[in-house]
Structure 1
Amino acid sequence: MPPAHRNGPSTWHGSLATWRGSLATWRGSLAGAAGDGFWPGQRGDATEKAARDHEVLSIAAPSLRALKAFAETVRAGSLTGAAAVLHITPSAVSHLLRQLEDTLGVTLFAERAPRIRLTEGGETLGRRLAAAFDTIDGAIAEVRHRASDIRVSTLSSFLSLWLLPRFGRFQARHPNTRLLFSTGMRPVDLATEPFECAIRWGTGGWAGLDCTLLFRDRPVLVANPRLLDSIATVPRLAAGSRPEDWPLVAAALGLPDTPPALTFETRAQAVQAAVAGMGAAVVDRNLVTGLLADGLLAELAPEPPVLAPQGHWFVCPPNRLRIPQVRALRDWLVSEASVLPVQARPAIG
């Protein structure tokens, strides 16, 4: 019998065993590939695609520092102004701007010096980045805001003439509460702006707000004590925010309605000028009781007193009264406002 025929069965059995081993290996590879989400032969292609996608994303994403540098350059109108805000050199700002243009593949500036001039694309990006960074800055401020901080919107004259001279008593009673004051003539929207409460001047009844009257205006004429006996001839001091005060009180005192010699933005400024002996002003008596008591001002008060319909109010959204610090501030203000004022000097004659 030829050798090939005699050895055929054992060779066939060996080949079958090898084939079975190869099949098991193939099945294991198939299971592993399926578990990874790849079929045999696809793993290399998918890995290369992921690498390409990562490369594209890396190229298309400019750095936050470069975006911030661009936004501040647009705000300031110059590289020097942006550098001052960012606390880096103008050359560093210029480098970041070039980096941003290279990353985006667009020209953002038509001119850079001495003042910047943006391309159309630069104007669009600058406008949107400014809004985005404003949102980020606001969010950071909110996170940093302490739970014990109370943000109060108030009128500058009320703050400087009435509140600050008394504020030490609030601090002594509530040492762990910090009040953050913001002044302005515009009534803030307490529903949308970041304030817990406000001091407003008016007649009350603001929709959606809990309103507590502190005191109504009682306008009187005030001047440096050495000017009081010649009050009819001293210059008139006026506040641009309250032009109607003088005619109301002058008529009750029998004084002429003369035009103002000096006009100031606020009543507090007019009062400071009166203390300095520059003339006479009309002001709500509640705001100057401390100056009257200290002898820095003297007054002429109409009899009977002139009572205005307006006054100073503590206001807040009703749900803010759930905050213990807001309630404490309101209650303290009401307590301070209830203290009896210094006796007014009656009108001459």
Structure 2
Amino acid sequence: MHTQLPHLNSLKVFDSAARLRSFKKAAKELNVTPTAVSHQIKALEEALGTLLFERKTRAVQLTQDGELLAETTHNVFQLLANVVNEISSTKNIITVSTTSSFAAMWLVPNLDKFYKSHPEIEVAIKTNEQVDDIEKDRRIDLVIRYGIYDDSIKNSIKLITESVGMYSTPSYVLNRDASTDINLLETKWKNENLPEISWNLLLSNKVHKNKIFNIRQFDQEHHVIQAALAGQGVALISSLLVKNALNQGWLQDYKIAEIDQEIKGFSYYLLVPERNIRNKSILEFKDWITNEIR
């Protein structure tokens, strides 16, 4: 039966073209020419006696047979990769996709702890503010997302729900004259689906006692933290992301008399694609980050 299978290389080329929906992108991924990809796909179609792609002017689209084969090759290559990683003596590489701020302010500073206990695993970090389709994009092994957690999401686990606090450098507190304006720093979400957490909402309908508040916005939380570290004002930011800065004494809590309520934030949650739920290296990382972040 095995002798009837197409050549493995042609299946690999097909898998790449089907996943990326482009011969040109597949050629770039495989480091070959688009013509070579086209020839491999044509040879595979002739061997199977069916069309796998519909060729359009500037795009290709999978046929029904192509969709069926794409789903199978996708699963088979991922399973093969998982087994090879598990039995190989070389270092395993897992790719984690997450937000820029979480990567910069929590994951990277804590990653050395993971390496000490798992030296055989290397973590590659991909930052993206958009939502990746991890079931289709095999370049991503797991994602850490930020937002409102829904426990009905398959193969997901909530890592932590943050609180939001007000922080500044000790020098900002000491050097700010009581009569001067207060600079307030905040994040304006790129993701419009996230509910607003802002100084204006917190200060609305409050008695300001002649204080003047200047609000400055950034589109990344770690930019807000960097501005606070530079002594530019008081940051409204996740207590999780400033934990290292607090431990080092670089930032401290800042109390504004007009704001006395608890500020609720969002959740960080981990999501593993179906193909990786039994991958040993990914399970090791999942166990580590679940325990470390809590």
Per the shorter chain, which TM-score range? 0.5 to 0.7
Deviations 1:313-342 (A, max 9, x none): 11112441200111111111111111xxxx
1:270 matches 2:161: no
Q: Secondary structure at the match of 1:188?
A: coil
Pick aligned residue for 1:305 from 262, 265, 274:
262
Contact conserved, 1:246 with 1:281, CA < 8 A, in 2? no
1:291 matches 2:235: no
Deviations 1:209-230 (A, max 9, x none): 3221111121101111122365
Alpha-carbon spacing, 1:226–1:259, altered in 2? closer, same or farther (3 Å): closer
Contact conserved, 2:166 with 2:253, CA < 8 A, in 1? yes
Structure 2: which 5+ residue stretches go unaligned? 1-20, 33-76, 86-91, 191-195
1:227 matches 2:184: no
Q: Secondary structure at the match of 1:278?
A: coil
> Aligned equivalents of 1:140 and 1:269: distance in 2?
36
Distance apart, 1:283 and its partner CA: 0.4
Which structure has more RCO (C-alpha within 8 Å, separation ≥ 6)? 2
Distance apart, 1:139 and its partner CA: 4.1
The one-letter code sitting in structure 2 at the alignment partner of 1:174 is: H
* Partner residue, 1:218: 163
Distance apart, 1:133 and its partner CA: 3.3
1:326 matches 2:270: no
1:159 matches 2:159: no
Q: Secondary structure at the match of 2:264?
A: coil
> Aligned equivalents of 2:136 and 2:152: distance in 1?
14
Residue correspondence of structure 1 range 127-166 to structure 2 within 5 A? 131-139=22-30, 147=85, 148-166=92-110
Alpha-carbon spacing, 1:252–1:217, altered in 2? closer, same or farther (3 Å): farther
Distance apart, 1:189 and its partner CA: 0.7
Contact conserved, 1:221 with 1:300, CA < 8 A, in 2? yes
Distance apart, 1:184 and its partner CA: 1.3
* Partner residue, 1:209: 154
Distance apart, 1:247 and its partner CA: 3.6
Distance apart, 1:257 and its partner CA: 9.1
Distance apart, 1:173 and its partner CA: 0.9
Structure 1 or 2: larger strand share? 2
> Aligned equivalents of 2:230 and 2:218: distance in 1?
14
Distance apart, 1:311 and its partner CA: 0.9
Residue correspondence of structure 1 range 42-61 to structure 2 within 5 A? none
> Aligned equivalents of 2:100 and 2:212: distance in 1?
27
Contact conserved, 1:150 with 1:325, CA < 8 A, in 2? yes
Contact conserved, 2:186 with 2:237, CA < 8 A, in 1? no
The one-letter code sitting in structure 2 at the alignment partner of 1:236 is: L
Number of residue pairs matched by the alignment = 206
Alpha-carbon spacing, 1:249–1:171, altered in 2? closer, same or farther (3 Å): farther
Contact conserved, 2:183 with 2:214, CA < 8 A, in 1? no
Q: Secondary structure at the match of 2:217?
A: strand
> Aligned equivalents of 1:253 and 1:160: distance in 2?
34
1:237 matches 2:192: no
Distance apart, 1:259 and its partner CA: 5.0
> Aligned equivalents of 1:214 and 1:163: distance in 2?
13
> Aligned equivalents of 1:174 and 1:265: distance in 2?
34
Report the more deviating stretch, 205-214 or 326-335. Answer: 205-214
Residue correspondence of structure 1 range 107-146 to structure 2 within 5 A? 131-139=22-30
> Aligned equivalents of 1:252 and 1:329: distance in 2?
46
Contact conserved, 1:220 with 1:249, CA < 8 A, in 2? no
Distance apart, 1:253 and its partner CA: 9.4
> Aligned equivalents of 2:282 and 2:207: distance in 1?
44
Alpha-carbon spacing, 1:224–1:197, altered in 2? closer, same or farther (3 Å): same
* Partner residue, 1:189: 133
> Aligned equivalents of 2:200 and 2:158: distance in 1?
25
Alpha-carbon spacing, 1:208–1:281, altered in 2? closer, same or farther (3 Å): closer
Contact conserved, 1:152 with 1:198, CA < 8 A, in 2? yes
Alpha-carbon spacing, 1:259–1:226, altered in 2? closer, same or farther (3 Å): closer
With normalisation by structure 2, the TM-score equals: 0.61
Distance apart, 1:156 and its partner CA: 0.5
> Aligned equivalents of 2:146 and 2:30: distance in 1?
30
Contact conserved, 1:227 with 1:234, CA < 8 A, in 2? no
1:179 matches 2:132: no
Alpha-carbon spacing, 1:189–1:253, altered in 2? closer, same or farther (3 Å): farther
> Aligned equivalents of 1:208 and 1:227: distance in 2?
43
The one-letter code sitting in structure 2 at the alignment partner of 1:306 is: I
